[in-house]
Structure 1
Amino acid sequence: MKKIMSVILVLSIGLMLLLGFFSIKQINFINSSLITTGTVVDLEVSYIRNSDGTRSLSYHPIFLFVDNHQRVRKLQSDVGSNPPTYRKGEVVEIIYNPENPDHAKINNLFTLWFTEIIIGILAIVLFLISGSYFYFNVRKNRFKRKMLTNGRQVEAQITSIEVNTAIVIQGRSPYVIYSQWQDKLTPDDIYIFKSENIWFDPTPFINRETITVYIDVVNAKRYYVDISFLPKVK
């Protein structure tokens, strides 16, 4: 799990660097470009194959404009949509590089920054996923150290080993160990404990009926189930 999240974190950082590169490149393009008007003369239909095998339509506007050398340019937008954003005959604002007029785009926020928006969304999502994992992992380890140092040690009866189907990563779900403990000082109360996620079946490695649990002396609902006796996943 940690290796997967490390890869995701590195990938998100790589995407952020790529976002910075494309953003600087786009800013330089905008700062060195001229703005004129053009006309949409046609809509080019393209097909996008979806993951389920179906195809989706996308309409790319084809536009004409006159550059600073009084030459007519006919270009197709890289960005398409469905339904089409533009219609034939519509007048649009064009931004283009005077040294390379074939490098032209329709001058709106989405068209200019489409690539950067997609990269940015992917980078943020991946960073939040991996960053949250490492953040909560640090908190969990800090809490674990606190319980091992200051918690009350009890032996809880192992009741079951179950698959945590709430979590699925690459088609696999972790296991958890459930146990219960009855405090002799308050015999009417039974406490149920759940271990952290275990990414292999621990059943063959459990040859005991009880498991050590460290509980908060103030609040028994705060606890740590000690699974250090299990082998480590490499």
Structure 2
Amino acid sequence: MSEGDGVRVPWRGWGARQWVAFGTIAFGSLFLVVGLVLAGVSVSFLTDAEKARGTVVALDWRNDSVGTSSRRARSDDKPAAYPVVEFTPADGTPRTFRSSTGSNPPSYEEGDRVEVLYRADSPDDARINGFASLWLLPLVFGGIGLLSAGIGTALAVMGRRRS
């Protein structure tokens, strides 16, 4: 058989387009799985969470770009405000935690009242009951994964139609 017969052996003779499509689908699938795992963690947290009222007692301003591989600070690198929240769980012992989600401009101000979700068996595992703290990471990872896998699938389908 000659190369012009149209018979292809799988994994042999793949062109750059097929490898790019495969890599893009694999990358997207990985990000989609991470997004789904993070969503599962949030859902699991919500099913076990107790609620309490809390107060933002401070804003912890941090510049997350410190320590990155780029030694030169970019002009658009601005510090983010992470709310520090104090609340009292059912056991009566006041607790304080820093939210894992920061923003600039700040989402909260000192003195703001917030709803806190925490695990009864581990009150130090607490989060502000808000969209960003519960769903931002799952949506970012899942969205990037869906977009990448979709683009890779489109490239694979277009490459398949051409051959």
Q: TM-score, normalised by structure 2?
A: 0.80
**Residue 92 of structure 1 aligns to which amino acid in structure 2?**
V
Q: Deviations over 1:143-183 (max 9, x none)?
A: xxxxxxxxxxxxxxxxxxxxxxxxxxxxxxxxxxxxxxxxx
Structure 1 residues 141-160: aligned runs within 5 Å = 141=163
Q: Deviations over 1:25-81 (max 9, x none)?
A: 221110011011100010001113397741221110000000110010100000000
Structure with greater contact order relative to length (CA < 8 Å, sep ≥ 6): 2
Compute the displacement of 1:24 (Å): 1.8
- Superposition RMSD on alpha carbons, in Å? 1.7
Structure index of larger Rg: 1
Say which is worse superposed, 18-27 or 56-65, in terms of deviation. Answer: 18-27
- SS of match in other structure, 1:39: strand
**Residue 147 of structure 2 aligns to which amino acid in structure 1?**
V
- SS of match in other structure, 2:79: strand
Query: 2: distance between equivalents of 1:137 and 1:99?
Result: 54
* Higher normalized helix content (fraction of residues): 2
Matched, 1:75 2:97: yes
Compute the displacement of 1:139 (Å): 2.3
Compute the displacement of 1:106 (Å): 0.6
Query: 2: distance between equivalents of 1:41 and 1:80?
Result: 15
* Higher normalized strand content (fraction of residues): 1
Matched, 1:104 2:104: no
Q: Tell me which residue corresponds to 2:149.
A: 127
Identical residues among aligned pairs (%): 22
Compute the displacement of 1:127 (Å): 1.2
Query: 1: distance between equivalents of 2:90 and 2:96?
Result: 14
Structure 1 residues 1-234: aligned runs within 5 Å = 1=16, 2-49=18-65, 53-54=73-74, 55-141=77-163
Query: 2: distance between equivalents of 1:57 and 1:25?
Result: 28
- SS of match in other structure, 1:78: coil
Query: 1: distance between equivalents of 2:64 and 2:122?
Result: 29
Q: Tell me which residue corresponds to 1:181.
A: none
Query: 1: distance between equivalents of 2:19 and 2:140?
Result: 25
- SS of match in other structure, 1:132: helix
In the alignment of these two chains, the number of paired residues is: 141
- SS of match in other structure, 1:56: coil
* Runs of 4+ deviating beyond 3 Å: 50-53
- SS of match in other structure, 1:113: helix
- SS of match in other structure, 2:61: strand
